[in-house]
Amino acid sequence: MQHARQHDQARCGDPDRFVPKTLSEAGFEVTTASVDVSSRPSVEALVAMATSLGAVHGLIHAAGVSPSQASPQTILKVDLYGTALVLEAFGKVVAEGGSGVVIASQSGHRLPPLTLEENKALATTPVDQLLNLQMLQLDQIKDTLHAYQLSKRGNALRVMFEAGRWGDRGARVNTISPGIIITPLAKDELSGPRGAGYRRMIDGCPAKRAGTPDEVANVAALLMGPEGGFITGSDILMDGGVTASYWFGSLAPL
C-alpha cells in the first residue's frame, strides 16, 4: 500500500510527493510478457496467460512498425496480419462489457480509395490467408509507405468486421488513427528519410503542432469506458487536421 499512499499525497499537493513512473509504482499489480504479434503461437500464449489471470475486459493493441523501420514484408506481417490475429484471438475470450482499441494511423486515410472487393478482402479474409491476397504481393506494393498505408487502412476495415464478432460477446472494438504523436517511433520518422515530410505536415496542419500520447490516451479512455458504450466498429481520426489539409488544403500533393 505504500505506493497508493504516496499517490494520495501527490493528489493533495505534497511538495515532496512521489510521482509514479510505472503502473507498479502507482499501486497496480502488473504482469508482463514478450510477444511477437506476427506469430500465432506467441499471441495464443498471451491469450492463455491473460485468461489465466482473470476475465479479459480490455485490450489496447499498439504494436507496429513504421515505414522507416522495416521492409514492406515486415510491415504487412506485423501491422496488418498481427493486428488481425490479435483481434481474432482476443475476440474469442473478451468478457461481456469488454472493449478493445487498435492504434492505427492517419496514414490509412491518405491511401486512395480501394474497390469494394478489396475492402471486403482486407476486412474478412481468414487471418492465416490474409497475406496471400494478390493486392498484398510485393509486385503490387510500391514501397514501405504503401505497405504501411494498406496495413492501417486494413486495421480499420478489420475492426469493422470484428465488431460483429465482439458484439456477439457483448463487447466493443474500435480503432484510433492518430497523426504525428511525439513518441520514439515518430522521432525515428522525423530523423529518417521522410523527416522533411513529417515536419511539413506539422507546420501545415490546422493545429500547427504534433500531438501527445496523453491526447490519444484521452480518446482511448472514452472508447474503453462506459461513456463510449454506443461506439463500436468505428475509426477515430485525430491528426490535427493533417488529412483534411492533405485532401483539400495546403498539404495536397503537388
What is the set of active-site residues?
148, 152
Give how far the C-alpha of residue 150 lies from the chain's centroid of Cα atoms, to the nearest Å.
14
> How many of the other CB atoms lie within 10 Å of CB of 197?
14
State residue 122 phi and psi, 5-degree precision. -65, -35
What is the distance between the alpha carbons of residues 58 and 93, in angstroms, rounded to a whole number? 11
Q: How many CA atoms lie within 13 A of 60 on its CB side?
A: 11
Q: C-alpha angle with apex 251: 244 to 66, nearest 5 degrees?
A: 85
> Euclidean distance between the first and final Cα of the chain, in Å?
59
Q: Are 81 and 127 in contact (CB under 8 A)?
A: yes
